[in-house]
């Protein structure tokens, strides 16, 4: 499941290949991959053909490639989306939805393939708007612009312009469980189910603890653990359980070997040795140690 570290690995892989490249053709093979695009496949193809890509930028789980100061191709990988770099004319990938043929002045011709099994991911052409704080829109570009579809989400915890004070204030004023808050992309972006569970385990906080019940010291500790978990996962190439997440070359990450709580139901907690439990939560699962992470 692509969360911040996985999307950043993809962005870093795309950057050298697409920066300065020209889109010579666009082929939409499944229009369901354009659910965020207004205008349909023909509009998407015609609008991008001939445009020059200026960068690969990321905020949270959103990735975008500006094609001018006012427009960008926005990508969200959803649950199973992949952005793959392939040789021109390479065989169609399994679940391939969209293919961009690009021409780079140094690297030559390449195919950028968007493949997505569960079709939760999408591409779209979107307008760029100024960031309210004047800082760069995301990692990968100094331009203080962000797609309208991304403008409503908060900066991610690894962003130098992340507003920790705003994060603490949002946590303090809500009665919702802290895991729900972590998954709210308008509070802090880039955190999904895996890294929420891992961060809460590291900070020894029960996922259902109301935000308002957490002392500032605990919120600060949690934020530090979120940043540490994300950094470590990024360094290890992200988390791969199966073929659902791979980098632009189709390779898996290694962070699954470093997980302490997520997906370890019944296995001993690495800290106290008692079994990790799994409970249903928001149509998904929470994994935690009931001994180390007690309810307040």
Partner DNA sequence: GGAATAACCTGGATGC
Partner DNA sequence: TGCATCCAGGTTATTC
- Member of 137, 157, 192, 207 binding DNA (CB under 7 A): 192
Find how far residue 281's CA is from the centre of its chain.
21
Residue from 11, 51, 58, 61 carrying the catalytic annotation: 61
Residues within window 212-231 making contact with DNA, judged by CB under 7 A? none
Q: Judged by CB, which is closer to DNA: 101, or 126?
A: 126
- Member of 149, 209, 240, 260 binding DNA (CB under 7 A): 149
State the binding string over 270-289 for DNA (x if CB under 7 A, else -).
--------x-x-xxxx----
**Residue 58 bears catalytic tag:** no
**At its nearest, how many Å lie between DNA and the CB of residue 174?**
4
**At its nearest, how many Å lie between DNA and the CB of residue 96?**
11
- Member of 76, 97, 99, 264 binding DNA (CB under 7 A): 76
- 178 in contact with DNA (CB under 7 A): no
- 296 in contact with DNA (CB under 7 A): no
- 266 in contact with DNA (CB under 7 A): no
- 32 in contact with DNA (CB under 7 A): yes
**Residue 179 bears catalytic tag:** no
- Member of 11, 19, 37, 95 binding DNA (CB under 7 A): 95
- Provide the annotated active-site residues: 2-3, 61, 284
Instruction: Name the residues that contact DNA, by CB under 7 A.
Output: 1, 3, 32, 36, 60-62, 76, 78-79, 95, 117-120, 149, 173-177, 180, 183, 185, 192-194, 242, 262, 278, 280, 282-285
């Amino acid at each position: 499941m692509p969360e911040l570290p996985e999307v950043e690995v993809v962005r870093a892989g795309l950057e050298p290949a697409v920066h300065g490249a020209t889109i010579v053709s666009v082929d939409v093979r499944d229009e369901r991959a354009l659910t965020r695009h207004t205008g349909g496949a023909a509009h998407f193809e015609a609008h991008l053909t001939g445009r020059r890509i200026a960068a690969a930028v990321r905020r949270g789980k959103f990735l975008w490639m500006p094609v001018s100061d006012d427009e960008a191709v926005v990508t969200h990988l959803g649950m199973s989306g992949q952005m793959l770099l392939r040789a021109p004319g390479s065989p169609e990938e399994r679940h391939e939805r969209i293919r961009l043929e690009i021409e780079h002045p140094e690297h030559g011709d390449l195919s950028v393939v968007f493949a997505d099994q569960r079709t939760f991911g999408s591409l779209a052409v979107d307008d760029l708007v100024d960031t309210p704080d004047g800082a760069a829109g995301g990692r990968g570009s100094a331009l203080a612009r962000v797609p309208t579809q991304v403008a409503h989400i908060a900066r991610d915890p690894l962003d130098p312009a992340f507003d920790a004070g705003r994060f603490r204030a949002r946590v303090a004023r809500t009665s919702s469980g802290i895991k729900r808050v972590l998954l709210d992309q308008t509070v802090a972006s880039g955190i999904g189910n895996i890294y929420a569970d891992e961060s809460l385990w590291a900070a020894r906080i029960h996922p259902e603890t109301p935000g308002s019940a957490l002392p500032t010291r605990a919120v600060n500790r949690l934020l530090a653990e979120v940043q540490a978990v994300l950094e470590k996962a990024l360094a290890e190439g992200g988390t791969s359980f199966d073929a659902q997440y791979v980098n632009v070359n189709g390779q898996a990450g290694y962070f699954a070997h470093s997980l302490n709580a997520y997906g370890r139901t019944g296995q001993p907690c690495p800290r106290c040795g008692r079994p990790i439990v799994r409970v249903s939560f928001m149509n998904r699962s929470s994994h935690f140690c009931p001994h180390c992470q007690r309810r307040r």
